[in-house]
Amino acid sequence: MLLPQNHTERFDLNHELHARPFAELRPPARASYLALLAGEATKPVEQQCLAALCARYGRPPPSIADNHFNADLGPFQIKWERHTEFTSYTFLGNAPLTLPSAFADPVIDQVPQEWLAGLPGTVIAAAHVAVLPAAAGPPPTEEIAPLFGGNNVVGARIGEGAGAAYTDFRIHGDGFSRFVIFDVRLTSRQAGRMLQRLLEIETYLMQALLAFPLARGLLPELAASDRRLVEITTRMADAVPADEPALLDQLTRLAAGIEHSVSSTHYRFGAARAYYALVEGRIAELREMRIEGVQTFREFTERRLAPAMSTCESAARLQSALSERIHRASQLLRTRVEVTREQQNQALLASMDRRARLQLRLQQTVEGLSVAAVTYYAVGLIGYLAKAGKTLGVALNPDLVMAAAVPLVALLAALGVRHIRRTVSRDSAR
């Protein structure tokens, strides 16, 4: 069948739908889990480490293009997943287990220690998981509590009663937290899904909490910036035009500091919201049922994680509100500066108008003096001509000739000056 051309990313997107398959678990089973914060630049190093581990056990290396990898290496199975901000390694193994020895021999002890030490990144979450059969139902909580060193236990029936899970969400002396899953009637794939959801809850919870120290350290800075803004706006109310440039400079510096704060924390706060939503989603997928006297996973996160996320949201809202208030104050101050500038411009234009009128009057005075001067000199020349004619025998009275010439010369001089002024004005208008 001839079809239109496929979208360039169609097969990659379909592949992504089926990426990171769940492991199949058949109790009794153990799992050890590591989540390492690592940037995109460490991906080649991670793949080199996986290739070296596979070569050690005679298995083919992972594909370079994939972001997940599963392999049975004999003593244990490994599951590697590459996420946006972290990489996870899950080591699985089957061995006879009893409740008292659930964490006595973790599967990670079978992984080459020098290989573990060479993994890139820093540990953000680590956990041991024991999966035990419990066809008759999970044992009493009193028998499970010693596995967690006497800490308060969090747990619930999961899968609508098909299993049960317990943890204390604490890091124990070996640097790992602990989970116990009891298989009442879980299928192997269902058990694998529950294992992954519990490990993801642990990881996403820690990832969400990365924003909490940032928010807690940011709140005093925001409070100080808020007080500074109040001081500036208070001074604005009584400021004179001479103070406005300095106030505007202070507001600009304050705005720059807040915008730097927003840009440096925006990603982390946004990621915290996303991880918090993932935690809530994974808990919903557990389909919890309460165990009498035991705090559920949802209750634990609502009591412990929700306040931290509220602090992060509060810091983000304060940043946004402070940025908007600074923007409004800056706009108000700029408006005042522009009004002051317009008033100065109007005063300057009025001054220029007065100067133009004075200049016009002076010009008119000069023009009158020019007409008088031209008339004076022209009449004098005419008088010299009349005297010369009288000397030559022409019957002329020089005084009468000069007197008669004064009005005519004055009129001609005035018309000439007027013509010159109009010509100059017309050329200037062009």
pLDDT along the chain (430 residues), means of 10: 80 71 84 91 88 92 79 92 91 88 92 94 96 90 91 94 95 95 93 94 96 94 93 85 84 91 93 95 95 94 93 94 90 80 81 82 74 82 82 79 83 80 70
Contact 156, 294 (CB under 8 A): yes
Nearest to 75, CA basis, from 61, 88, 56: 56
Number of H helices, E strands in the chain: 9, 8
Give this prediction's pTM. Answer: 0.77
Find all residues with CB under 8 Å of 365, minimum gap 6, and list them.
Answer: none
Q: How far is C-alpha 222 from the chain's CA centre?
A: 16
Residue 46 vs residues 82, 329, 402: alpha-carbon distances, Å? 9, 51, 116
Query: So what's the pLDDT on residue 16?
Result: 67
Nearest to 235, CA basis, from 375, 332, 359: 332
Query: So what's the pLDDT on residue 358?
Result: 83
Instruction: Tell me the C-alpha distance between 62 and 75, whole Å.
Output: 18
Residue 115: its H or E element: helix 113-117
Query: So what's the pLDDT on residue 19?
Result: 66
Residue 227: its H or E element: helix 211-237
Show the tokens assigned to 275: 């991880």
What is the Cβ-side half-sphere exposure of residue 361, based on CA atoms within 13 angstroms?
A: 5
Phi, psi of 92, deg, nearest 5: -120, 145
Query: So what's the pLDDT on residue 197?
Result: 95
Query: So what's the pLDDT on residue 78?
Result: 94
Instruction: Tell me the C-alpha distance between 236 and 81, whole Å.
Output: 57
Residue 406 vs residues 48, 398, 403: alpha-carbon distances, Å? 114, 12, 6
Q: How far is C-alpha 340 from the chain's CA centre?
A: 36
State the Rg of the chain over Cα.
46
Instruction: Tell me the C-alpha distance between 76 and 91, whole Å.
Output: 6
Query: So what's the pLDDT on residue 429?
Result: 62
